[in-house]
Structure 1
């Protein structure tokens, strides 16, 4: 196919997506998504955040092929080596390659944030939409429970839960998820309150739809975009809490290459061998920044209050 034919085909697809009178619901949805992508792509910082997150995902997937060494292999003769062609980011106090541990640590970081999002977001969405739509005593009880969880700082409550459950990455994930769902419930409830008396909800109710069907089929989809933005913005906080638990020895346990635990072990030699703690700290900073930039970009596109696609 010639370049002119390819250009003509691309222009045809673009015109089809941007049509002001779509012929089907699928065309309308794809067109709306394409307009959102164009808006997102114009935000250079958001694209930078997307690039960082995609890089994290790729590093996590291909970690065994990227890392030059076993992340747990100890070579005591090479302990505390500075940057070199053999050890790109140096070695730690046990002679383990820091670059390999950072690469494999990306898997743990992604594992934590995905599981926390999968656990916390649906809980918050279910509680918030149910409370907002049903109202009355149901709303009062659910929101007071939410307020109890919100009354404690996330890290403090996570520390208390992990202390009760015992150290370990699974318990840390549970603790972080338990502390993360209340803000999602608040957002979902606020969104539900604005749409529960809308004309289309009244029409669905008159057609005989039950409460649960209205909530899950009509209200939940409308709350999802705001929730996605909040979850993306919260990823940085989740990473920091997980790193904090690892730093205190309550998260991932040795010899797992968790970034917070790596900083904890490196603090003992921070003055003389600064790279042992600094490199994982930079990794946490970069990934957290990436999620924040991505969340800001998604908010501009998905939040109708900021002029996004809605």
Structure 2
């Protein structure tokens, strides 16, 4: 193992592969030294595992009703109690992790690349294109995300697919701003000029050189934004505009449980705790990634 560590930590790597693995190993080592980042990573890994094995972890069906056992408190038979239709809340929370993970993944896949591309193109070309793209970006940034998402969902109609589209539309402007700022810092650098002199097209420069340099900041921001995306999705579900019944979406579960919040507190509290824990996990991981990927810490690696 020591020989492998020496090979990974070599200051003069013999190949690009060794350099890439060495940098990844140093970043992982720094991430593991951050307690909060480690805790956040464990929470996110736990979320992924729970979502992947939900049918085997959940003791009961998430949509099966049992009116004879409605509104039962937490017990050994029902770890988180039952709701107004006798459904096992623990099973619904477990299966709800799949919906949450789906929303987070799809929003990230749609909004981050879109914002990255818009920001890189805007910062690289400048001039009228920069004004046009950043003008559109500022229009989206000028409105609160939840209000804008509500407007899009109201236009598209309720449903989990439309909720994902609405949240993605409201999320991309932040990534565009970050990518533009990063691009402006090295747009006039020597390596860009050298690449242009070699005859590389603007498309190749943006795709092969500009976008990779913006990726680190984008990953950090995207991880930190996951908590906001989860809360926005829960807000849409709470208002009945997200995942529709009988899907066990956490926000919709809180909405249905608010009627019983004084006497049967567990109906709304359990999915609320799940939202808080997962949101904190993404926040902790994002803070850790920000510290690890900060160029000012390069000398500590």
Which residue of the partner structure matches residue 127 of structure 1? 118
CA distance in 1, matches of 2:66, 2:298: 56
Match of 1:94 among 85, 94, 99: 85
**TM-aligned CA distance change 1:58 to 1:308, over 3 Å:** farther
CA displacement, residues 254-278 of structure 1 (integer Å, 9 cap, x when unaligned): 0000000000000000000000000
Q: After superposition, what is the alpha-carbon deviation per residue over 1:67-107, rounded to whole angstroms, capped at 9, x for unaligned?
A: 00000000000000011111111000000000000000000
Q: Distance in 2 between matches of 1:76 and 1:209?
A: 68
| DSSP 3-state at the match of 1:20 | coil
Tell me the distance in 2 between the aligned counterparts of 1:232 and 1:308. 24
Partner of 1:7: none
Partners of 2:299 and 2:95 lie apart in 1 by 37
SS in 1 for 2:79: coil
Structure 1 residues without counterparts, runs of 5 or longer = 1-9
Counterpart-to-counterpart distance in 2, 1:272 and 1:297: 40
**Structure 1, residues 54-76: CA drift from partner, whole Å, max 9, x if none?**
00000000000000000000000
1:214 equivalent in structure 2: 205
Aligned pair partner of 2:157 in 159, 166, 187: 166
The residue correspondences of 1:24-43 to structure 2 (distance < 5 A) are 24-43=15-34
Residue 308 of structure 1: CA displacement?
7.7
The Cα offsets for residues 236-291 of structure 1, whole Å up to 9 and x where unpaired, read as 00000000000000000000000000000000000000000000000000000000
Counterpart-to-counterpart distance in 2, 1:258 and 1:101: 8
The whole-number CA distance in structure 2 between the counterparts of 1:117 and 1:174 is 11
* 1:268 corresponds to: 259
Aligned to 2:55: 64
| Deviation sequence 1:112-138 (CA, Å, 0-9, x none) | 000000000011001000000000000
Over residues 203-252 of structure 1, what are the superposed CA-to-partner deviations in whole Å (9 max), with x where a residue is unaligned?
10100001111001100000011101100000000000000000000000
1:271-290 pair list within 5 angstroms: 271-290=262-281
Distance in 2 (CA, whole Å) between partners of 1:70 and 1:41 is 37
Shift of 1:198: 1.0
1:305 Cα deviation from its structure 2 partner: 4.1
| Partner SS for 1:236 | helix
Aligned match of 1:298: 289
Alignment TM-score, normalising by the size of structure 2:
0.98
Contact 1:40–1:46 (Cα < 8 Å) also in 2: yes
Name the CA shift for 1:126/1:38 in 2 (closer, same or farther; >3 Å).
same
What displacement does 1:309 show? Answer: 8.0
In the TM superposition, residue 303 of structure 1 has moved relative to its aligned partner by 2.4
- Separation of aligned partners in 2, 1:263 and 1:110: 18
